[in-house]
Amino acid sequence: MKDLQESSSLPEYVILICCFSLLFAWSGQAAASSNSCVDCHSNPKFVTTNKKLYTYYLRSENSVHAHAGVTCIDCHAGHPDKADKASAHGNSAKGADVALSAVYYSNIPNTCGKCHKEIVSNYKKSKHYEYLSKDNLLEMRGANCVTCHDMGMSASEGNNLMAKAIASCKICHNYKTGNYPNIPKRIRVVLERYAAAKTLYSNLIIQHHDKIPEQVKNRLANSFLVIIDNLHALHLGKVEVDSNKLLVSMKDIRRKLRKGIAIDCN
């Protein structure tokens, strides 16, 4: 972890994200003119003939993913160059109930993990992954990506990532199931600290860009990533300590900046 913190730097991270966004935006545009999935699934006739189908389409179209240029086939596979349903779906674009489908519940982590590589590799260290394939009652299974992120898709859900995630813990972690019922409370504290630290970080970077050494910026930026990684691995104790440390150190930096004290590199 230590090595990772030292070697990773904000500019690289930002540039990487930018490149990815451009790539996705570009591929999205290239496909937009001939995407039969969208052409057909967006047909307003489905509002009456197949409401559920149309709802899936709407959620996807309004999502962070659509804005980032991620298209239907990035998650579902299929042939968007074929106009008729059978050839477009082919053997690959299957429904969520089919075990071979990319969006079957136990296949979802790998599907999302094609792009969210760090997250999926940490997720795979978790009890959630371990319990994902246990053929059990739904609430005794481990959570997969869309259990917590809903579809991880609508833009409004994106803004509400924290609220959605907390609400989702309660589905399985409650007194009725007896499965770690205090987890929703603990994760709320963590996520509130995380959000507060993030807001402070963005504000201070904007207002005092020159006064915060690059090394400190990199260290802080990396701390956010480490928290997200440990969170997906379910190292809750570690995340509790780290989120507290991060918020305390953000507040300390704010105090120093207000008083005109120089920020040193440790």
Report 98-157 residues binding ligand HEC (CB under 6 A). Answer: 103, 108-109, 111-116, 119-120, 123, 127-128, 131, 139-149, 152-153
Neighbour-count burial of 50, counting CB atoms closer than 10 A to its CB (0-12 exposed, 13-18 middle, 19+ buried)? middle
Residue placing its CB nearer to ligand HEC in the complex, 114 or 255: 114
Residue placing its CB nearer to ligand HEC in the complex, 63 or 253: 63
Q: What angle do CA 262, 196, 240 make, to 5 degrees?
A: 100
Q: Which of residues 44-63 bind ligand HEC (CB under 6 A)?
A: 50, 53, 56-57, 60-61
CA 241/CA 238 separation, integer angstroms: 5
Using the rule CB under 6 A, is 96 a contact of ligand HEC?
yes
> Residues touching ligand HEC: how many (CB under 6 A)?
83
Using the rule CB under 6 A, is 10 a contact of ligand HEC?
no
Q: Which of residues 177-206 bind ligand HEC (CB under 6 A)?
A: 179-180, 183, 187, 191, 194-195
The two structure tokens encoding residue 71: 């298209």
Residue placing its CB nearer to ligand HEC in the complex, 103 or 253: 103
Residue 115: how many other CB atoms lie within 10 Å: 15
For residues 118 and 111, the answer to whether their CB atoms sit within 8 Å is: no
Q: Which of 220, 208, 221 is nearest to 255 (CA)?
A: 208
Using the rule CB under 6 A, is 68 a contact of ligand HEC?
yes
